[in-house]
Amino acid sequence: MQTIEHIHNEIDKRKEELFDLLKTLISFQTPAPPARNTEEAQQFVAGFLRDKGFAIDQWDVYPGDPNVVGTLKGTDPAAFNSLIVNGHMDVAEVSEDEQWETNPFSPFVKDNAIIGRGAADMKGGLAGALFAIQLIHEAGMKLPGTLMLQSVIGEEVGEAGTLQCCKKGYKADFALVVDTSDLHIQGQGGVITGWITLKSDQTFHDATRRRMIHAGGKLMGASAIEKMTKIIAGLQELERHWAVMKSYPGFPAGTTTINPAVIEGGRHAAFIADECRLWITVHFYPDETYESVAEEVEQYIRNIAKGDLWMQENPPQFEWGGTSMIEDRGEIFPSFEVDPQHPAVRELKQAHSSVLGNLPIMDVSPSVTDGGWLADAGIPTALYGPGKLEHAHAVNEQLDLDELINYTKVLASFIYNWTHTRKGETSYEIQ
């Protein structure tokens, strides 16, 4: 039987195949928004995995946007560890006025990097995973533990294709999200969006405003827009309190933020505004949950409302999260922590060290990924992928070729070693 060293040599010898695979993935135009455009790319992934012996589960999350889960059942799945490798097929949107060197979906190599939309975020990670799987298959290596590859949709717009995989019951002993991390092993904070609404059941002509704000008017009314400024001030106070009282290793102080992102209100100039809606984005730490953070915000704002006579009669309403930034203007990215002593994390560190000759950096991502949904489903999870965050979403997005090669070697070692580790064991020596 071939060894992992053989696989690493094959990656070096056949690196152009790896680069071509990434170029092929980039050439599928899958920006979100507008989304609903991953069908062809996902069919490619499904066919690729099917040819390697994987059973394919493919279903539409939205029309034109299917998830693909390939499962390679292990030869002894009851005794050996299973693994989910997870990545998203959608990429960041491209505006018409962006000054790319060429078409963002016509990838090319320059200065030892592949340039194209999605190179770093995160088709590079998917390409490395697929190529590692291909070489393991071609070498005739049988994995005793079950391997699943999830190619999901919607990550860029909070549509959480990964959440749909969890809802369908896909589980494993460990999950690796191959999103952008510059080969750091990472956990992440979380994000939740919410709408705060002030709405009166009465409407007033704008000519009645004098009676609401001057002595003797005797009209109990108010502008919902003006009242929303009290709530915004309250959110700023809470944000400052969090900055003082909360912290997490690896994050700069004050990373827990409350962004008043969008405000909508009023009918037109002849009305006192009877409704105002504020769209906020809340960032929180890995040791917090989106439910607890939302409750903190609600409780603080409700206490402010109790001190306002108009808001006592017209209390703020809250709507949290959502399944899509496109469909319902809302999203959730749960946070997660990485246990450095988890056997799979130790295997991953060992695989990284054997390839790169140094210990991997373990820290926290300043961004968010779908990994939170896997962790939220009770699956130990880590983020580990190629690409630098400053290249993700950027004009002339790129991925260093040497980093892609090293990443593919690490991933091949980790897939092989983890699925050859018996449940309950703590390590497996790299061959």
Q: pLDDT by residue (tens digit) across 265-323?
A: 999 999 999 999 999 999 999 999 999 999 999 999 999 999 999 999 999 999 999 99
Question: The tokens of 269 are what?
Answer: 């100039």
Per-residue confidence (pLDDT) for residue 428, from 0 to 100: 43
Q: Is 111 a catalytic residue?
A: no
CB 36 within 8 A of CB 62: yes
DSSP 383-421: E--SS-TTTTTSTT-EEEHHHHHHHHHHHHHHHHHHHTS
Q: What whole-number distance in Å separates Cα of residue 40 and Cα of residue 45?
A: 9
Residue 425: which pLDDT band, with cuts at 50, 70 and 90?
confident
Residue 300 contacts by C-beta under 8 Å, 6 or more apart in sequence?
234, 237, 238
- 97-120 tens-digit pLDDT: 999 999 999 999 999 999 999 999
Residue 429: which pLDDT band, with cuts at 50, 70 and 90?
very low
Average confidence (pLDDT) over 41-46: 98
Amino acid at 134: Q
Average confidence (pLDDT) over 42-47: 98
Tracing tokens 């391997």 back to the chain, one arrives at 147
CB 112 within 8 A of CB 92: no
Chain centre distance of CA 402: 25
Q: Is 288 a catalytic residue?
A: no
Q: What whole-number distance in Å separates Cα of residue 417 and Cα of residue 391?
A: 31
Describe the crossing of helices 343-356 and 401-419 by its angle, rounded to 10 degrees: 140
- 186-222 tens-digit pLDDT: 999 999 999 999 999 999 999 999 999 999 999 999 9
Per-residue confidence (pLDDT) for residue 409, from 0 to 100: 98
- Nearest residue to 68 (alpha-carbon basis) of 129, 117, 16: 129
DSSP 90-150: -B----TT---SS-TTS-EEETTEEESTTIIIIIHHHHHHHHHHHHHHHTTPPPSS-EEEE
Q: Write down the pTM of the prediction.
A: 0.94
Mean model confidence pLDDT for the chain: 96
**pLDDT over 60 (residue 430):** no
Q: What whole-number distance in Å separates Cα of residue 152 and Cα of residue 319?
A: 26
- Nearest residue to 119 (alpha-carbon basis) of 133, 108, 130, 134: 108
Burial of 116 (0-12, 13-18, 19+ CB in 10 A): buried
Query: E strand or H helix at 210, and its extent?
Result: helix 209-213
Catalytic: which of 90, 179, 275, 288? 90
Percent of the chain with pLDDT over 90: 97
- Nearest residue to 392 (alpha-carbon basis) of 366, 411, 355: 366
Question: The tokens of 152 are what?
Answer: 């999901």
- Nearest residue to 81 (alpha-carbon basis) of 430, 427, 429: 427
Catalytic: which of 155, 179, 182, 331? 155
Per-residue confidence (pLDDT) for residue 1, from 0 to 100: 57
Percent of the chain with pLDDT over 70: 98
Per-residue confidence (pLDDT) for residue 426, from 0 to 100: 63
* Domains of the chain listed by start with CATH number: 4-188+336-419 (3.40.630.10), 190-320 (3.30.70.360)
The dihedral of CA 176, 387, 256, 186: what is its sign?
A: positive
- 121-131 tens-digit pLDDT: 999 999 999 99
